[in-house]
Amino acid sequence: MQGAPLLVPITFLRRRLCCGLAAPVLLALLCSSCSIEERGDRGLVEGGAEATPGPQKQIIQPEGVTRLPVFSSAVRSGGFIFLSGAIGALPGVNPPTLAEGGIEPEARMAMANLGAVLEAADASWEDVVKCTVFLADMSDYAAFNQVYLEFFPSDPPARSAVAVAGLAFDARVEVECIAAVR
């Protein structure tokens, strides 16, 4: 019954929920209507020519940008650059030291750090299509937005902003981005 809509009577689910069988039953029902197909476009480039085998990602690590050894500053894969979260750490200072003065200097430094990574990847703020902002305190939302607008004065990318319980080095803000490039 491949491709048929999944219809499960509510009364059936209610009875199963009471018995603790909901997850296995739902999983079996969902999987029975799924199929896995091999993609035929793997290994092809635009126009249908065979791609040369090679790494699926390129690590981007500019000099002077503070990072921990457990992640890369950015990774290019396909037509995207995935930038790791950046805090407002001063460039080239070890151990990482945050810009002083609160949310605005930290936000400005975090964005500058991301800008350095974009530049190392031959990209710019205009290439950024999505940002995620992590705030240690949601009361800093308006102040962060003021700084953010300096980098995206018009046509800003899609964005999410969330409050978190804590950030590395007690930072007030961390920002990660995705850029689309050719």
Residues 32 and 86 in one domain: no
44 within a domain of the structure (yes/no): no
Residue 23 exposed, middle or buried by CB count within 10 Å (0-12, 13-18, 19+): exposed
pLDDT at 63: 85
Handedness of CA 148, 168, 85, 110 (dihedral sign): positive
With 60 as the cut, is the pLDDT of residue 48 above it?
Answer: no
Residues 13 and 73 in one domain: no
Q: Which whole number is the average pLDDT over 64-74? A: 82
Residues 65 and 137 in one domain: yes
With 60 as the cut, is the pLDDT of residue 18 above it?
Answer: no
pLDDT at 54: 61
Question: What's the number of domains the chain is made of?
Answer: 2
| pLDDT tens column, 136-177 | 999 999 999 999 999 999 999 999 999 999 999 999 999 999
Q: What is the chain's mean pLDDT, rounded? A: 80
| Domain interval for residue 5 | 1-37
pLDDT at 174: 98
Worst-scoring range by mean pLDDT, 51-55, 123-127, 159-163? 51-55
